[in-house]
Chains A and B, each alone.
Chain A
């Protein structure tokens, strides 16, 4: 799944078989998978939509901090990424 341990250099992407999309009818991002759906809250949606396999986790954190005019988000984002990897929502090499 998520081969290496989490540090700022990993480049997470949406897990195989999952799809992230914005659903106007539900006014939120959802993660779709075989016969199921997770409704995401705003912060989960904002993190996951940046996980494109190109950006590193450090870059994602910086991007979020800029977008939301906040600081020190690293711990929170990392904790979420860890949970998401366990659920297979995210993977990286």
Chain B
């Protein structure tokens, strides 16, 4: 072993400050960039109310402070109000991440009474046509209604729009719409290419030119708004050539619990081969966080190979995304291929090259039938 590059033993991590409860994979929408696993239909089993309440208590005891309630569409759980009330009672800041479908006035009032702190509402686009096409639903007007309901309840509203080739040129209008609806924050989240977005990558990946224009428009709005609405432009890592930390560092901040109770360090880690992730039905949040193989495997820098192991950026990016390494380099311990130093970076460049002259091909909507078709025994989809 090269002692020069021998990493120190990983430090004991701090608490999982962010507990993200993915309450269900059921969803009325069929978004083409969904980050739920492609094989979600094979994990239809859902934790019961008591399981979730136990997870919340155990997480809070460890020091978790932010609780995200997500999915799928979390409003499809009829025990959502019970879960919110317990999370709030325990001292979490409670965040509901929703498509808005099902957020009636009655439901909103009940969630407010339960102590819900904040609602993040997803939009697909500023136009009805693209919104309804991408989600494969007629939900554009509904989302506008829900945005008004969120304001009426006095919640801070984060609007989240996943950005890709089909809506990136509308970014000026998207920001204008968020201002009109009274959002406090707008997240312009460039698509991360895993799961369904990876299947549809050739249709979704924007060109460099599009990304540059969108950044300029965002910058113009930012100075015009002068802090009245906070704008976050989540940079696309394919275009930057720079790897980003996985969820602020694998096993450093986030614990995600999937609908069936599987505990994961990020949304998509379940796809990684040769790694067992524990289930909250069998183990405590404490044991999972500190002692499970799944959470320890890619913590820190000790697991790295070259070029990461000797890279001067290794403490900053922590090697980037393990799922992206697996999807593109077929090795979860490889450098994230979006990094210019990765020996597999050419495949990212080739995908960007294809974005310049996209071919017509069918887009895959996230639905149960496609999930079952694409997941024979959870075999992952491998890069072309």
Contact = CB atoms under 8 A, between A and B. Distances in A.
B62 A25 contact: yes
Nearest to A86: B227
B68 A35 contact: yes
Contacts of B133: none
A25 B63 contact: yes
A37 B117 CA distance: 13
A17 interface: yes
Interface of B is mostly: loop
A17 B156 CA distance: 6
Contact of B156 (A21, A30, A33): A33
Interface residues of B, number: 21
A19 B154 contact: no
Interface residues of A, number: 16
A16 interface: yes
B95 A37 contact: no
A66 interface: no
B15 interface: yes
Interface in A23-73: 23-26, 30, 32-37
A61 B155 CA distance: 31
Contacts of A36: 66
A25 B15 CA distance: 8
Contact of A34 (B63, B65, B118, B154): B118
Nearest to A31: B93
Given A16-B156, A25-B15, A35-B95, A30 B65 contact: yes
Given A16-B154, A86-B227, A34 B185 contact: yes
Given A17-B155, A23-B63, A33-B93, 17 more contacts: A16-B156, A17-B184, A19-B93, A19-B117, A21-B91, A24-B63, A25-B63, A26-B14, A32-B66, A34-B93, A34-B95, A34-B118, A34-B156, A35-B66, A35-B118, A36-B66, A37-B66
17 contacts: A16-B154, A21-B91, A24-B63, A26-B14, A30-B65, A32-B65, A32-B117, A33-B156, A34-B93, A34-B95, A34-B118, A34-B184, A34-B185, A35-B68, A35-B120, A35-B158, A37-B65
